[in-house]
Structure 1
Amino acid sequence: MVVRLSLPLSGAGVIVTRPPGTAAALQRLLQRQGAEVVLLPGISLRAIEAADVARRELGVAARADGLIFISPAAVKFAWKLLPSLRLLKRSALCAVGQGTALALARAGRRNDVVVPDSSQDSEGLLAMDALRGVRGQDWCIVGAAGGRDVLAQGLRRRGARVRLIEVYRRAAPRWSRLHFARLETAPKPLILLVSSAQALANLATGLPAGLVLALRAAELVVSSARLAGLAREHGFTRIHVAESALSPALAAAAVQALARHRL
Structure 2
Amino acid sequence: MTLAPLAGLGVMVTRPAEQAEPLCRLLQAQGAEVRRLPLLAIEPARAAPALLQLFNEARDAQAWIFTSRNAVRCARRLDAGRWPTRLYAVGAATAAALEELGLTATIPAGLYSGESLLSHPSLLQPTGQRFLLVTGAEGLGTIAAGLRERGATVGVAEVYRRQSVAHAPAQVVEALRASAAILLTSGEALRQLLALTPEPAMELLLRRKLVLPSARVVEQALESGFESPLVPEQVSDAAYLRCLERWWADQRP
- Name the CA distance, whole Å, in 2 between partners of 1:138 and 1:172: 33
Q: Which amino acid aligns with 2:115?
A: E
Report the equivalent of 1:34. 31
Secondary structure of the corresponding residue to residue 239 of structure 1 = coil
Q: Is residue 108 of structure 1 aligned with residue 105 of structure 2?
A: no
Contact kept, 8 Å, 1:217 with 1:238, in 2: the verdict is no
* Correspondence for 2:205 among 215, 235, 243: 215
Q: Quote the RMSD (CA, aligned, Å).
A: 2.1
Question: Which letter maps to 1:236?
Answer: F
Query: What are the equivalent positions in structure 2 for 1:176-191 lying under 5 Å apart?
Result: 176=168, 179-180=171-172, 182-183=174-175, 186=178, 190-191=180-181
Alignment of 1:1-263 (within 5 A): 6-49=3-46, 51-84=48-81, 87-89=82-84, 91-109=85-103, 112-176=104-168, 179-180=171-172, 182-183=174-175, 186=178, 190-262=180-252
Quickly say closer, same or farther: Cα 1:149–1:222, change in 2 above 3 A: same
Question: Which shifted more, 135-144 or 206-215?
Answer: 206-215
Determine the C-alpha separation between the residues in 1 that align with 2:159 and 2:87: 17
CA deviation after TM superposition for structure 1 residue 238, in Å: 4.0
Runs of 4+ with >6 A deviation: none
Alpha-carbon distance in 2 for matches of 1:5, 1:46: 43
Post-superposition offset of 1:181: 6.6
Judge conservation of contact 1:134–1:159 (CA < 8 Å) in 2.
yes
* 2:67–2:139 CA contact under 8 A, matched in 1: no
Q: Do the aligned residues in 2 keep the contact of 1:203 with 1:212 (CA within 8 Å)?
A: no
| Whole-angstrom distance in 2 between the partners of 1:225 and 1:181 | 27
Secondary structure at the aligned position of 2:245 is classed as helix
Cα contact 1:65–1:92 (8 A) shared by 2 = yes
Answer whether contact 1:5 1:11 (CA < 8 A) is retained.
no
For 2:35, give the aligned amino acid. V
Q: Unaligned 5+ residue runs, structure 2?
A: none
Question: How far has the Cα of 1:229 moved from its partner?
Answer: 1.4
Give, in whole Å, the separation in 2 of the partners of 1:221 and 1:5. Answer: 26
Quote the sequence identity (%). 34
Q: Which amino acid aligns with 1:6?
A: L
User: 1:88: Cα distance to partner?
Assistant: 2.5
How many angstroms apart in 1 are the aligned matches of 2:176 and 2:110?
38
Answer yes or no: is the 8 Å Cα contact 2:182–2:211 preserved in 1: yes
CA contact (8 A) 2:173 2:201 kept: no
Aligned letter for 2:206?
R
Q: 1:129, CA displacement in angstroms?
A: 1.7
The verdict on how the C-alpha distance between 1:174 and 1:59 changes in structure 2, with shifts beyond 3 A counting, is farther
Go from structure 1 to structure 2 and tell me whether the alpha carbon gap of 1:152 and 1:5 turns closer, same or farther (over 3 Å shift). Answer: same
TM-score normalised to structure 2 length:
0.92
Q: How far does residue 185 in structure 1 lie from its aligned partner after superposition?
A: 5.5
The answer on whether the counterparts of 1:51 and 1:167 sit within 8 Å (CA) in structure 2 is no
Is the CA contact (8 Å cut-off) linking 1:96 and 1:115 kept in structure 2?
A: yes
Residues 191, 218 of structure 1: 8 Å contact kept: yes
Relative distance call for 1:177 and 1:227 in structure 2 (3 A) is closer
